[in-house]
Structures are given as C-alpha cells and as structure tokens.
C-alpha cells in the first residue's frame, strides 16, 4: 500500500498543507524544526491513532487551534480510499472513510500499516519493559486490528481493579468482605482478557524471532543470525506438559487466576495489580563469543542500535509476509548510522512499496534511496525538480 496524497489541517506546525506522493521512495529534506517529522508522524498517526513521539494527542493539534485533521488517500491493490481523522483537543476524536463517519474511531486502526524507524527506537533496547510491550502490542494490533479493543478493555480493567485494590486494602470488616467479593469479579476479567493478550504476544514473539535473527545478521557487522535473540518473559509462567507445547488461552487464564490468588496479599498491601501481561517484558540477548548477554547494560552503543533496527526490520518483514507491504518511515535515522549500516539499511528497504525518509541534509539520504525529493522549509513543502 502507499499514500498518494496527504492533507494536514492544524496538525502540529502546519495550518494547512497538501502533499501529493508517489509509491517508491520520497525524501523530505530540510533544516531542523522545519516540519519534516510532523509530516510522517501524521501518516503514522493514521495507522495506529498514536504518535511515535508523544503519548497524548494534545501536542498534535497546532497551538491555538481546536482540532487537527489528517487526511490521506491510500492506494491498495489499485484501489484508493480516503482516510481521515479529526483530532480534538479535549474531546473524542472522529474518523471517516471516504467521507463516511466510522462508528468507532479505533476502527481506523490498521487500515494503513506503517513501520517507523526513528532515533527514539533506542528506547526499545535501553528503555523500560513498557517500551517493549508497546512495540509488541502495536505490531499485534496492526496484524489483527480487533486487538485494539482487547488492549483498551485490558487497560480499563486494570484501572478499575487498581482502584478497587486500594479501597479493599484500607477497608476493614464487612466493607473489606464486600470489596474482596467485587475483586474476584475483576480478577476474572483480568485473567480472561490478560490471557488473550498473553497468548497473542507469545505467538507474535514466536513469529518474530526468526526475522529478528536474520535482520540482526544484516545490520550488525560480522554477526550471524543466532547472535540476536528475543524471548518473551511473562510474570506468570504457566506449567505446560510437554514443555514445548504452546499453552492454550484457557491454561494461561487459569495460570493468571492461580497467581492472582497467590499474590493477593501483596496486591492489597501495595494497592496495585502485580499479576498480568502489563508486568511482562521482552528480553533481548546478544551473543558475545560463547556467552549470551542481555542487551541492556552489556551491548555497545552500535550493537544496541543494530538490535533496535533489527526489531523494526523484523516487524516490517513480518507485516510484509502477511501479504501487504506496510509503509516504511525512516525518520532521521541515517544521521545516526555509520556509512556501512546506512548502505545496508538503504539496500534492505529500497524495494519497499513506499518509503518515506526525513533528513536534515541531502547527503544523509543514501544513494540507494534515490526517488522524489521534497524541500521542507517553514511549513512549505515543495517538490525539487
Ligand atoms: N502543536 C504544535 N503547534 C505548533 N507548532 C508545533 C506543534 N508541535 C510541534 N510544533 C513545531 O514543529 C516544529 C518541529 O517540527 P518537526 O519535528 O517536524 O521538525 P523536523 O523538520 O523533523 O526537525 P528535525 O530535523 O530537528 O528533526 C517545531 O518548530 C515545533 O515547535
Ligand atoms: Mg525530525
């Protein structure tokens, strides 16, 4: 798929801009702060209804404006659809397809599929487990958009359950009895929805693993495909026999319930949910000689970067294997890479259906990514002839 036209209204720094686009490579070049990332961020937002730069929507609306509109014509298998999202400051967002409103905004998620490489990706490797969980969840939702609903249900259950844990932890006597009875209902919700998320993440990591090894081999100098490894680390490890079988959703649900029962006192004391996929991590390891080392705390800067790139490339390859090329966004990444990695990455992505690159100077765009060039200056986006 590719975006053939992008319109922004009051999105970030743009009062209004129209950008016609082609399939293949397009580079946006311009000095710092001119609005290059804002353009690609808008396309990524349309895909996930989330920005790769900020957790909330407020910064996406131009300062002083009430709402931002992102509209894109998206071509898939020769057919064009116009997707639109209206981002409202302090009110619910709205989505439209070919001008018809969607009943739920989140039904837009996954209709455009993007994979973004950005300098922020280093947090995938160096950041908290929540950064890696988000990476997995975003990918799983792009592959199966209905999971956006499952994830938001889980977040809601977690919030409710946490506030109940706080109340129950402080209550005494019959009030406590009542709160505990209600808690068991929320335990059930958490286990049921949590098990589904857990099962999805486990199978996603299985699917992703070979691609990560392959991608790491390509981007890390002298590495082989066994040198990078990902492992899902759940807080609840179900016992399954034989060990190599994939646990069923029901097994996972039961395992979460058992662990909830076992940790109930801790949870009440601390007033937070300690059991469930919101506490899990994705472990990253590299080989150094015969040793297997965690990336965080051990890997060099270059190795960390290679691993982060490998995760993104693997996500791209996996989505591609599902049958439709996602739109690849390379936001300011080439400046971060040495010349050999630049060339390797450029060659890997050069045949993607659509690649959008941002760079401060033209020299940062590798020769292998020749294509359309736009100059971005003070909110004006002009095509170089
Ligand atoms: N909500 C907003 N309202 C108005 N201006 C904004 C808003 N959010 C960001 N900006 C402005 O947009 C500009 C940043 O744009 P962007 O991040 O696209 O720059 P860039 O061209 O990618 O720069 P760099 O090369 O440094 O990455 C900044 O000047 C910032 O002040
Ligand atoms: Mg930028």
Query: Residues 53-101: pLDDT tens digits?
Result: 888 999 999 999 999 999 999 999 999 999 999 999 888 999 999 999 9
Residues 187 and 149 in one domain: yes
Q: Can you give the pLDDT at residue 124?
A: 95
Best probe residue, ligand 1, of 9, 32, 35, 363 (max atoms within 8 Å of C-beta):
35
Residue 208 Cα to ligand 2 midpoint, Å, equals 28
Residues 62 and 50 in one domain: yes
Q: Can you give the pLDDT at residue 82?
A: 98
Asked if residue 336 has pLDDT above 90, the reply is no
Residue at which a domain ends, from 271, 304, 323: 323
Residue 289's pLDDT band (cuts 50, 70, 90): confident
Quote the mean pLDDT of the chain: 93
Contact 115, 328 (CB under 8 A): yes
Q: Can you give the pLDDT at residue 35?
A: 97
Residues 223 and 346 in one domain: no
And the tokens for 21?
């686009």
Domain that holds residue 32: 1-113+326-385
Residues 71 and 182 in one domain: no
For 149-172, write each residue's pLDDT tens digit: 999 999 999 999 999 999 998 889
Report the percent of the chain where pLDDT is more than 90: 80
Residues 145 and 207 in one domain: yes
Residue 19 Cα to ligand 2 midpoint, Å, equals 17
User: Is the shortest distance between the CB of 272 and ligand 1 below 6 Å?
Assistant: no
User: Is the shortest distance between the CB of 37 and ligand 1 below 6 Å?
Assistant: yes
Cβ neighbourhood burial of 38 (10 Å; 0-12, 13-18, 19+): buried
Residues 182 and 244 in one domain: yes
Residue 4 Cα to ligand 1 midpoint, Å, equals 23
The Cα 347–Cα 326 span in angstroms is: 17
Ligand 1 atom closest to residue 61's alpha carbon, by position in its atom list: 1
Contact 368, 350 (CB under 8 A): yes
**Residues belonging to the chain:** 385
**If you take atom 28 of ligand 1, which residue's CA is the nearest one?**
33
The pTM assigned to this predicted structure is 0.93
| Residue 187 or 221, more confident | 187
Q: Can you give the pLDDT at residue 138?
A: 94
Least confident of 26-30, 96-100, 243-247, 278-282: 243-247
Ligand nearest to the Cα of 57, by number: 1
Asked if residue 48 has pLDDT above 80, the reply is yes
**If you take atom 10 of ligand 1, which residue's CA is the nearest one?**
13
Average pLDDT of the residues in 299-303: 89
Residues 248 and 281 in one domain: yes
Q: Can you give the pLDDT at residue 237?
A: 83
Residue 60 Cα to ligand 1 midpoint, Å, equals 10
Residue 351's pLDDT band (cuts 50, 70, 90): confident
**If you take atom 8 of ligand 1, which residue's CA is the nearest one?**
12
**If you take atom 24 of ligand 1, which residue's CA is the nearest one?**
32
Residue 342's pLDDT band (cuts 50, 70, 90): confident
Residues 290 and 205 in one domain: yes
Residue 38 Cα to ligand 1 midpoint, Å, equals 6
Residues 252 and 319 in one domain: yes
Asked if residue 242 has pLDDT above 70, the reply is no
Residue 339's pLDDT band (cuts 50, 70, 90): confident
User: Is the shortest distance between the CB of 360 and ligand 1 below 6 Å?
Assistant: yes
Q: Can you give the pLDDT at residue 349?
A: 87
Contact 329, 303 (CB under 8 A): no
Q: Can you give the pLDDT at residue 212?
A: 97
Ligand 1 atom closest to residue 59's alpha carbon, by position in its atom list: 1
Residue 53 Cα to ligand 2 midpoint, Å, equals 10
User: Is the shortest distance between the CB of 50 and ligand 1 below 6 Å?
Assistant: no
Residue 288's pLDDT band (cuts 50, 70, 90): confident
Residue 52 Cα to ligand 2 midpoint, Å, equals 12
User: Is the shortest distance between the CB of 63 and ligand 1 below 6 Å?
Assistant: yes
Average pLDDT of the residues in 13-34: 97
Q: Can you give the pLDDT at residue 225?
A: 86
For 130-143, write each residue's pLDDT tens digit: 999 999 999 999 99
Ligand nearest to the Cα of 331, by number: 2
Best probe residue, ligand 1, of 13, 37, 356, 357 (max atoms within 8 Å of C-beta):
13
Contact 283, 233 (CB under 8 A): yes
Using DSSP's 3-state secondary structure scheme, residue 18 falls into: strand
CA atoms within 13 A on the CB side of 148: 19
Q: Can you give the pLDDT at residue 94?
A: 97
Q: Can you give the pLDDT at residue 55?
A: 86
Ligand 1 atom closest to residue 65's alpha carbon, by position in its atom list: 3
Residue 244's pLDDT band (cuts 50, 70, 90): low
Q: Can you give the pLDDT at residue 69?
A: 98
Residue at which a domain ends, from 297, 323, 349: 323
Q: 9: closest CA among 44, 50, 38, 32?
A: 38
Residue 209 Cα to ligand 2 midpoint, Å, equals 30
Residue 385's pLDDT band (cuts 50, 70, 90): confident
CATH number where 196 lies: 1.20.1050.90
Ligand 1 atom closest to residue 31's alpha carbon, by position in its atom list: 25
Residues 36 and 127 in one domain: no
Residues 192 and 315 in one domain: yes
Asked if residue 39 has pLDDT above 90, the reply is yes
In the chain, the number of structural domains is 2
Residues 336 and 285 in one domain: no
What Å distances lie between residue 361 and 248, 303, 335, CA to CA? 51, 25, 9
Residue at which a domain ends, from 277, 302, 323: 323
CATH number where 28 lies: 3.40.50.300
**If you take atom 18 of ligand 1, which residue's CA is the nearest one?**
35
């Amino acid at each position: 798929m590719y975006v053939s036209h992008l319109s922004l209204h009051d999105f970030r720094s743009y009062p209004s801009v129209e950008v016609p686009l082609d399939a293949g490579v397009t580079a946006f070049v311009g000095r710092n702060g001119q609005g290059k990332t804002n353009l690609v961020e808008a396309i990524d937002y349309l895909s996930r209804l989330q920005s790769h730069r900020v957790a909330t929507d407020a910064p996406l609306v131009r300062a002083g404006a009430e709402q931002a509109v992102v509209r894109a014509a998206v071509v898939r298998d020769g057919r064009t659809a116009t997707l639109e999202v209206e981002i409202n400051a302090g009110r619910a967002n709205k989505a439209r397809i070919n001008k018809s409103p969607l009943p739920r905004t989140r039904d837009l998620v996954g209709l455009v599929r993007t994979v973004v490489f950005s300098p922020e990706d280093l947090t995938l490797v160096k950041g908290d487990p929540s950064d890696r969980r988000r990476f997995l969840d975003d990918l799983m939702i792009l592959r199966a958009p209905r999971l956006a609903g499952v994830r938001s249900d889980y977040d809601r259950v977690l919030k409710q359950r946490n506030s109940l844990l706080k109340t129950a932890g402080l209550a005494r006597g019959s009030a406590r009895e009542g709160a505990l009875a209600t808690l068991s209902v929320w335990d059930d919700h958490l286990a049921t929805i949590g098990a589904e998320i857990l099962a999805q993440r486990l199978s996603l990591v299985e699917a992703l693993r070979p691609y990560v090894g392959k991608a790491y081999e390509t981007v890390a100098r002298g590495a082989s495909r066994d040198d990078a490894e990902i492992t899902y680390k759940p807080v609840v490890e179900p016992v399954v026999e034989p060990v190599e079988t994939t646990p069923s959703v029901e097994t996972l649900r039961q395992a979460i319930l058992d662990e909830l029962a076992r940790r109930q006192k801790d949870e009440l004391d601390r007033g937070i949910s300690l059991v469930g996929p919101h506490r899990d991590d994705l472990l990253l390891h590299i080989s150094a000689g015969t040793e297997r080392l965690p990336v965080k705390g051990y890997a060099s800067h270059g190795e960390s970067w290679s691993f982060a790139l490998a995760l993104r490339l693997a996500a791209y390859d996996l989505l591609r294997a599902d049958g439709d090329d996602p739109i690849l966004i390379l936001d300011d990444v080439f400046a971060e890479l040495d010349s050999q990695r630049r060339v390797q990455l450029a060659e890997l992505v050069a045949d993607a259906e659509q690649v959008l690159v941002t760079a401060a100077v033209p020299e940062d765009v590798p020769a292998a990514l020749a294509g359309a060039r736009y100059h971005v200056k003070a909110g004006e986006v002009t095509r170089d002839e």
